[in-house]
Each structure stands twice: as C-alpha cells, then as structure tokens.
Amino acid sequence: MENLFYFYLFAAFIFGLIVGSFLNVVIYRLPRGKSVASPAFSFCPSCGQKIKWYDNIPVLSYLILKGRCRHCGNRIGLRYPFVEILTGIASVAALWKTGLSIDYIFVFLFLALMIAITFIDIDFKIIPDEINFIGAVSGLIYSFFRTDFSWIDALIGAAVGAGFLFGIAYFYLKFRGIEGLGMGDVKMMAFVGTYIGWFGSLFTIFFGSLLGAVVGILGAYLSKSEDKGRFEIPFGPFLAFASVIYLFFGETIKSWYFGG
Ligand SMILES: [Zn+2]
C-alpha cells in the first residue's frame, strides 16, 4: 500500500510536469491577449517556428536541446523547465496533503493557478481576470465537497479578502495619492478567500504584505537605480506565496494565533 502511494506521487509529479508545460503556454499567451487553446502547438518565441511534439516534452526536451531552439538556436529561457518542475512539485505536495481524493484536484488547481499568477504578475504587473474567475468559481465548487468548510465560508472568505484589500487600496490612493494596489490583487483575494476563508485571507494579506515589504526594501536598497523611492514590485507573487503557506499550514497557524 505504501509503495503504491509512492507510485501515485511519482505519477502526480509527471502529471504536474505536463500541467506545468501548459502553464507556460498560459503565462505566455494570456497576458498577450492570445488564445490559450489555439493553436494547440507552441511556437519558438524567437523565430516563430512551430515546435514539434518531441521537442516539447517537459524538462527532457530542454535538456536534450541544451536550452536552445532546434531551428534558430536562440536560447530558451530557464523559466520554462523551472515552471514545469515547480508545477510537478506542487502536484506532489497537493497529493501528499490530500491523499487520493477529490481534494487533490482542487488543491492542485489552486497551486497551478498561483504559479500562473506569480509569473504573469512578474512579467506584466497584471493578474488576468480569467484566472481569478476560474479560481473563485473552483473554490466555490470545492466548498461543496468539503466537510471542514461550507460555501458560506467560501463566500465570506471572498468578501473579507477582497473587501479588506480594497479598503487598503482605497486609503492608499486617497491619502498617499498612489495607486499602490491593482484591482487584480483585490480580485485575486476573492479567489483566495473561497479556498482558505476569512482568516486565511487576512493572514495572506498581512503575511504577503510583510514579505513584499521586506523584498521591496531589500530591492530598493540593492537597486542601482536613482529612482529608489519608486522601486516597484508586483504584489501577486507575495499573496500567492502567503496563501499557499496558509493552504498547507493553516491549521497550525490558526492554533498558534488563537493559542490553542
Ligand atoms: Zn527558434
């Protein structure tokens, strides 16, 4: 039985690599306004050549081609295999947490969407509505399968997460005259709230802000730019990271906080 579970973990890793390969497509196309579904094949971003299936095997093709396009020889970003491996690990972590159950699908979906958000936000400083929408709807659907969490918890989580961050964004704009937070972050918190509830949402905002502040200060300090005050970092990746921490360790965090 135990050996079988290791086999499932391995299968989950392979499945994660494949999903990661698809996430690379999403990360590239979605913010550029291109269709995620068609064309079904990928192009080299440098020369536009169609990439054959055997050159599109997660991680392996990258290694075989030594990180270069077969046609034009231009470098393929290390980002591609990195996202694939990261998604593979996310899939294993999801299965490790949930065991073989329907929960795996939702927990892995949550992690996969967070990976897409992270890299799109880094590249474009936006979080596509499509991702937040799929996330929020899936979180709501998931709540009907859960015993520890109802659809009311999901809706309250969404309202508190989005509402609280919207409040911060509003005051930021009003008193400092800076648009420090985008609506994408606010909508993302609605998605996050449907999975981890109101307490998880607040944790995500506070812990994400703390991480963002630390990295922001470090970044501004290390940055050679004259314009240190305006060193800008996307908030989405920090919210994503904090929400994933809560998804996995929420019970522990809660009992620390409430002294249980
Ligand atoms: Zn090429």
pLDDT digits (tens, 9 = 90+) for 244-259: 999 999 989 999 988 8
How many angstroms is it from 50 CA to the middle of ligand 1? 9
* Average pLDDT in the chain: 91
Which letter does DSSP use for residue 65 in this model?
T
> Closest by alpha carbon to 79, among 119, 45, 47?
119
How many angstroms is it from 85 CA to the middle of ligand 1? 22
SS3 45: coil
**Cα 221 vs. chain centroid, distance in angstroms?**
27
For residue range 131-148, what is the model confidence (pLDDT) as tens digits?
999 999 999 999 999 999
Question: What is the model's pLDDT at position 226?
Answer: 59
Judged against a pLDDT cut of 70, whether residue 231 lies above it is answered with: no
How many angstroms is it from 56 CA to the middle of ligand 1? 13
For residue range 54-94, what is the model confidence (pLDDT) as tens digits?
998 999 999 999 999 999 999 988 999 999 999 999 999 99
How many angstroms is it from 111 CA to the middle of ligand 1? 30
**In which band, very low, low, confident or very high, does the pLDDT at 185 lie, cut at 50, 70 and 90?**
very high
How many angstroms is it from 54 CA to the middle of ligand 1? 15
**Cα 89 vs. chain centroid, distance in angstroms?**
13
Percent of the chain with pLDDT over 90: 71
How many angstroms is it from 82 CA to the middle of ligand 1? 19
Whether 242 contacts 87, CB under 8 Å: no
Instruction: Kindly tell me the sign of the dihedral angle through the C-alpha atoms of 193, 199, 201, 204.
Output: negative
pTM of the model: 0.92
> Closest by alpha carbon to 117, among 248, 245, 238?
238
Amino acid identity, residue 238? Answer: F
